[in-house]
A and B are shown apart, each in its own frame.
Chain A
Amino acid sequence: MAPQLNRRRVRGTVAFVAASALASQVLDLGFVSPPAASSRRDVLGAGLAGALGAAFGGNQAAEAYELPPLPYAYDALEPSIDKATMEFHHDKHHNTYVTNINKALEGKDQPSLLDLQKTAIKNGPAFRNSGGGTYNHNFFWLEMAPTGTGGAPSDKLAAAIDESFGSMGEFKAKFEAASAPGARFGSGWVWLVVADGKLVITSTPNQDNPLMEGVEGTEGIPILGIDVWEHAYYLKYQ
């Protein structure tokens, strides 16, 4: 892809490449760290390697978690996801999870957001709901890209999809069925995870995610997730 000078395309390219590289990272290394705080200037200025590093951080202990900025404009995902939804979803819902997990951790050792996930269910509602909500949404924005810039899975990911589902078309059909109305009843997420070297589709209630010990469904490392809480789609799709 030829380098783009337009800022919006660069952000979009970063987001797409980040998502594809994320998948590769997981397949290679078996872990993914969640996005740490970074400004868009830092992400853009540091080049691709810097972007991935800044977006996914490391396992270092954190100060209070910050709401990461959206990697693209609020209307960048139109018409699939409407601008108003992106505004409420990021600025209100996601922000509330961040605020609440920080509150729960006030005066305590604050682990990395990734480290928080494993024991989130054991540690109770604040960790599970707000810690999970923060991770899930940090993750969600990064796996999407402005309309038309999503591209295609890397060779490695495409091969894994074919191996686990037969084809991309079959994967899509299974993922759509898993996210259909009532399949995950109530609020929750549907995920594509790496588990024991295979790709598996699973779903979780509320703000749980497959990194959490004791979670419903398949435990594993999520590489793609869709938020099926009604707030994720109700303004446009009802």
Chain B
Amino acid sequence: LQTDRRQALGLSLAALAAVGSASPALADDPMFTLPPLPYAYDALEPHIDAATMKFHHDFHHQAYITNLNKAMAGKPAASLVSLMPDAKKNKLNNAGGGHYNHCLFWTTMGPKAGGTPSGVLAEKINDAFGSFDDFKSQFSTAAAGVFGSGWAWLVVTKDGSVKITSTPNQDNPLMDSNGEIPILGLDVWEHAYYLKYQNRRPEYISAFFNVINWDKVGEYYAQAASGKPIEF
């Protein structure tokens, strides 16, 4: 969603009012603002708890945005997605990656979600992994195997097939310039699950499958298969 900074500022104030959190000190015309969660904080219960959603969105995601705005102060306006390919070189991978990754994350989850993908995405998953259950198993292994902080991803490759990959910290596959486009990510930073699951990351990973919005991920597949990353 491309917005100029004036419009973004207006959206930001509206979003803050909607969310009901205290307004952070806004710098002059910040480039990026926190998008509201597309659902209530408790919408993903019992799989992801309301307290985690509140801290994760209102504090952790907001902090990446605040830091990204600091890093971009005085620079020409740019869309978030356009910052991804050179993010490591420009030392924007931490704050910029953090902002992008969480934007994608919130939109791929929802209440009354879960189930299985359909259409072309379902076919591509079967082609790549054998079955949806095999996909779940491999994705879970990848997510459990990230040591320290990071993300596990389902990405679309240049030929339209899907694969699983993972990245450390707030990096994402768009930063690796190999044409792989993320359409679904799972945050395995401890802040994403610790209040409810503590050290039991595999339980959190298992619970995640109950909240994936496969319709949205299917839309993302179509866009990524045409070579375009999801825009935030």
Contacts and interface: CB of A to CB of B under 8 A. Distances in A.
A230 B199 contact: no
Interface stretch (B29-37, B122-130, B190-198): B190-198
Give the size range of A's interface with the partner.
20 to 34
24 contacts: A88-B198, A92-B198, A96-B199, A129-B147, A182-B63, A182-B67, A182-B94, A186-B150, A186-B170, A186-B189, A187-B190, A206-B148, A207-B148, A230-B149, A230-B191, A230-B194, A231-B194, A231-B198, A234-B191, A234-B194, A234-B195, A235-B194, A235-B198, A238-B55
B63, B190, B195 interface centre (most CB from chain A within 10 Å) = B190
B147 A206 contact: yes
Interface string B172-199: 0000000000000000011100110011
A92 B199 contact: yes
Given A92-B198, A230-B191, A185 B148 contact: no
A181 interface: yes
A205 B148 contact: yes
Interface of A: 88, 92-93, 96, 125, 129, 181-182, 185-188, 205-207, 229-231, 234-235, 238
Contact of A230 (B94, B147, B190): B190
Nearest to B190: A230
A186 B67 CA distance: 15
Contacts of A235: 194-195, 198
B148 A229 contact: yes
B101 to A, nearest CB: 13
A235 B150 CA distance: 20
Contact of B149 (A88, A96, A187, A234): A187
Contacts of B94: 182, 185
Contacts of B148: 186-188, 205-207, 229
B232 interface: no
B58 to A, nearest CB: 11
B161 interface: no
A185 B169 contact: yes
B169 to A, nearest CB: 4
Nearest to B95: A182
Contacts of A93: 199
A129 B146 CA distance: 11
Nearest to A93: B199
A45 B59 CA distance: 48
Contacts of B168: 186
A186 B171 CA distance: 11
A181 B147 CA distance: 19
